Structure 1
């Protein structure tokens, strides 16, 4: 259940971030409202994930890695933003670091 809450938090945060991009500096009511609700929902769902036993380091690492990756891909396709090989390598390093956090908690 903790992973379900975490993935919900990630999706809510991604929705909030995309809405922030569309809010034009929080001057447009609908995307601004969606942005705020997305962030509030994200932190609420994160809190439920933590309440159900996920460690904060792993939860935040997964959230950051998947959030960055999803938002970067959405930026390329929705907003025609550029993506260099250095940025791709950076995302891979982030994902690798999160995997190391997750795998590192297993006792030998």
Structure 2
């Protein structure tokens, strides 16, 4: 469960940093939020990986939810366009990430203990 909290924090800080980047164009003080947000995001992502989440799954979720949240919030905060086609694209990205996550869970559950033992012997 810890890895999911860390990943959520990584996504939230990355989205905050991205939104602050737009604000920093007019108010340079926001560059402090950009730097600290991206630094925190990468630190939390490293913690997510260290906690045992696979890189492909973690990065996919981080990227997809980051894109979805940033696009949605920038439409609300900065009045940027968010068309139906963009919404469909975001939904497809999220569906793809969910598919990868489901596939990784299935692969982990069907992997036999013998295979895991052999992998450890090779390493």
TM class by shorter-chain length? over 0.9
Cα deviation code 1:41-95 (max 9, x no counterpart): 0000000000000011100100011111111111111111111111111001100
Gap runs ≥5 in structure 2: 111-123
Matched residue count: 106
Q: Which residue of 1 aligns with 2:83?
A: 84
SS of corresponding position for 2:80:
coil
Unaligned ranges ≥5, structure 1: none
Q: Which runs of 4+ in 1 moved over 6 A?
A: none
The 5-angstrom pairing of residues 36-51 of structure 1 reads 36-51=35-50
1:6 maps onto 2:3 in alignment: no
CA distance in 2, matches of 1:85, 1:15: 24
Alignment of 1:21-60 (within 5 A): 21-24=22-25, 28=28, 30-60=29-59
Aligned-pair RMSD on alpha carbons?
Answer: 1.3
Matches of 1:83 and 1:19 in 2, distance apart?
Answer: 19
Q: Tell me the TM-score normalized by structure 1.
A: 0.93
- Larger radius of gyration between Structure 1 and Structure 2: 2
Distance 2:45 2:54 in 1: 11
* Aligned mates of 2:77, 2:11 — CA distance in 1: 18
Name the CA distance, whole Å, in 1 between partners of 2:72 and 2:87.
10
Match of 2:115 in 1: none
